[in-house]
Amino acid sequence: MKVLYAQSGGVTSVINASAYGILDEAQKAGLEVYVGIHGISGVLKENLLKINGKSIDGLKYTPSAAFGSCRRKLKSQEDINKLFEIFEKYEIEYFFYNGGNDSMDTAWKLYTEAKKRNTPLKVIGVPKTIDNDLPYTDHCPGYGSAAKYVAIAIMEATLDLRSMYVDSTRVFVMEIMGRHAGWLVAAAGLGWLNGIGADIILFPEVPFNKEKFLDKVDETIRKKGYCSIAVSEGIRYPDGFFVADMGYTDSFGNRQLGGVGFTIAGMIRSELSLKTHVAIPDYLQRSGRHIASRTDIEEAEGVGRQAVKLALDGISGVMVTINRISDNPYKIEYSTIELNKVADKTKYLPEEFHKDFEVTEKYFKYAKPLIEGELFPEFKNGLPNYTIFKEVDG
């Protein structure tokens, strides 16, 4: 029996831990294992890599998509037919797709096609996204580590600002990923658990009110002398338009966003005449493996192993989910949800997790277990020794 695994969408610092869980569990079951290089795009080109016999232990400590990712939706029956020709050629019986909302749509289409063709192919979705916006799961692998990165980054930047504000920069703005849901930008408030975090958080769920925002900045400056701000790339005006719409769409059909940090900083400079500094962590927040959460790493591997167990039990057409049983002690269990209930759906930051420009105690209770613990990579020459598959290049 043969397995095909592929990675899709925006990467995380722990997606390869899921890959490790799937590939290791499948090989332990005696299966022949292939990976698609650059996701479904690579599979369509028959760009497959056989894993059996290769060293995969380092995957657990390596960020980003070790086998290459893609941003491609299945839009034509021609592509679907081509994929099933490849599945038949390589005798693939199990397909695991590791991704977010759009990736689950791809998995759902392949599952429904397999049923229509009455083939034995089993399709399982494996969740990952730093956005934490997949419904029917308490949280998503990738979020805890990205949240930890954001929390630490804003803490350290705010300490820098606090040191220099007297006759230098008064306002620091950090632009955080998150198109529709404010889960990741909310993490900028986690530093308050240890005494310092973002003074103002701008959530995409809350329509941006320029006057109210500037009043809050002015109030914070008068109170403290400085102000640190975390802004989601996806904030919108009350009419629904993005504050930082770049005017075109990506390959998934999403509006391309960018530069909201500079837009916000420009408002502050022009209206309040304050010196500002802007930082955009961008890829760093989703690939910061050096400070990844142990909880996140272990759960990422766990959903991968669970996916293989489900497939071997004959289950198909589902995504693995994480159910929280308790907060203290923190305890979870794995379950499933039908792929079509997740595909192209978004879970927003609940209103009870934020108020005005801050996160609430309920958010602290939710997020704290997800960022706890560390599992550092091996270091060599003073740097992380990450696993790199040469087959991904070229």
Q: What is the pLDDT of residues 171-199, one digit of tens each?
A: 999 999 998 999 999 999 999 999 999 99
> What pLDDT is attached to residue 393?
87
Rounded to an integer, the average pLDDT of 122-132 is 98
pLDDT single digits (tens) 339-370: 999 998 999 999 999 999 999 999 999 999 99
Residue 191 assigned as binding residue: no
CATH class of 143-286: alpha beta
Helix (H, G, I), strand (E, B) or coil at 382: coil
**C-beta neighbour count of 298 within 10 angstroms:** 17
> What pLDDT is attached to residue 247?
53
Helix (H, G, I), strand (E, B) or coil at 337: strand
> What pLDDT is attached to residue 1?
86
Cα 79–85–89 angle (5° rounding)? 145
Residue 177 assigned as binding residue: yes
> What pLDDT is attached to residue 115?
97
Provide the mean pLDDT of the chain. Answer: 95
Tokens of 240: 């629904």
pLDDT single digits (tens) 1-12: 899 999 999 999
The residues that are catalytic are 131
Residue 149 and residue 363 in contact, taking contact as beta carbons nearer than 8 Å = no
**C-beta neighbour count of 62 within 10 angstroms:** 25
Query: What are the backbone dihedrals phi and psi of residue 14, each rounded to the nearest 5 degrees, phi first?
Result: -125, 10
Burial of 222 (0-12, 13-18, 19+ CB in 10 A): exposed
Residue 57 assigned as binding residue: no
Query: What are the backbone dihedrals phi and psi of residue 268, each rounded to the nearest 5 degrees, phi first?
Result: -65, -40
Residue 233 assigned as binding residue: yes
Residue 285 assigned as binding residue: yes
List C-alpha distances in Å: 358 to 41, 206, 363, 370.
41, 12, 10, 19
Burial of 329 (0-12, 13-18, 19+ CB in 10 A): exposed
> What pLDDT is attached to residue 248?
47
For the cut 80, the answer to whether the pLDDT of residue 234 exceeds it is yes
* Band (161; pLDDT cuts 50, 70, 90): very high
* Band (75; pLDDT cuts 50, 70, 90): confident
> What pLDDT is attached to residue 244?
83
Burial of 163 (0-12, 13-18, 19+ CB in 10 A): exposed
Give the sign of the dihedral formed by CA 206, CA 209, CA 210, CA 216.
Answer: negative
Tokens of 219: 């109030």
Return the domain boundaries, the chain: 2-142+289-343+373-392, 143-286
Task: Give the HSE-up count for residue 158: Cα atoms under 13 Å, Cβ half-sphere.
Answer: 24
Residue 130 assigned as binding residue: yes
Rounded to an integer, the average pLDDT of 98-113 is 96
Burial of 129 (0-12, 13-18, 19+ CB in 10 A): buried
Residue 38 and residue 70 in contact, taking contact as beta carbons nearer than 8 Å = yes
Least confident of 66-80, 224-238, 245-259: 245-259
For the cut 80, the answer to whether the pLDDT of residue 318 exceeds it is yes
Residue 179 assigned as binding residue: yes
**C-beta neighbour count of 57 within 10 angstroms:** 9
For the cut 70, the answer to whether the pLDDT of residue 254 exceeds it is no
Domain 2-142+289-343+373-392 CATH assignment equals 3.10.310.10: no
